[in-house]
Amino acid sequence: MDNEQENISKNLSEINSIEDLPTIDQIEIFNSQIINSDSIKIIKILNKNSNFLPKGFYERLLICLHPLFYERLDYYNITLGRTIDRNLIQIERFNTDNYISITINNCLFEHIQNLLIHNLFSFYPTINLRIET
């Protein structure tokens, strides 16, 4: 385990309650933790027929993408993480619930797009969901 991971583990072991957890503003993913940080792509998931996504869509999205994460931090409207290959994944839900933004390394785009279309969008056959880049 490298020094950075040891420090994180030590800090997490000292946390005694939810209140002791860092806020999203205190979390930073350093460039050394991410490979290809210059090839970032942003995906938006929208509902073509409505301004709103289905209830529970964000949670189902996290379940769908869960196998990709090696490390992950979940907050109410944002999830930060990386894959085992140190590729960035950031999922953000906005309070208006009209779209979800996914920030990823470009090399993950095709894989995530396939997961969304085949595993997530098929769960909502009557809703016209689309991916916008």
- Please give the pLDDT value at position 97: 76
- Please give the pLDDT value at position 50: 85
Distance CA 69, CA 2 (A): 20
How does residue 29 score in pLDDT terms, banded at 50, 70 and 90? low
How does residue 78 score in pLDDT terms, banded at 50, 70 and 90? very high
Segment among 22-31, 37-46, 109-118 with least mean pLDDT = 22-31
- Please give the pLDDT value at position 36: 53
**In this model, does residue 1 exceed pLDDT 50?**
no
Query: What's the chain's average pLDDT?
Result: 82
106-133 pLDDT, tens per residue?
Answer: 889 999 999 999 999 999 999 999 999 8
Q: Give the domains, in start order, of the chain with CATH numbers.
A: 35-132 (3.30.310.200)
Segment among 9-18, 78-87, 97-106 with least mean pLDDT = 9-18
Return the exposure string of 73-87: e unless at least 16 CB atoms fall within 10 Å of the residue's CB, then b. Answer: eeeeeebbbbbeebb
pTM assigned to the model:
0.71
| Bridge partners (DSSP) listed for residue 21 | none
| Residue pair 35/87 in contact by the 8 Å Cβ criterion | yes
84-101 pLDDT, tens per residue?
Answer: 888 889 999 987 778 999
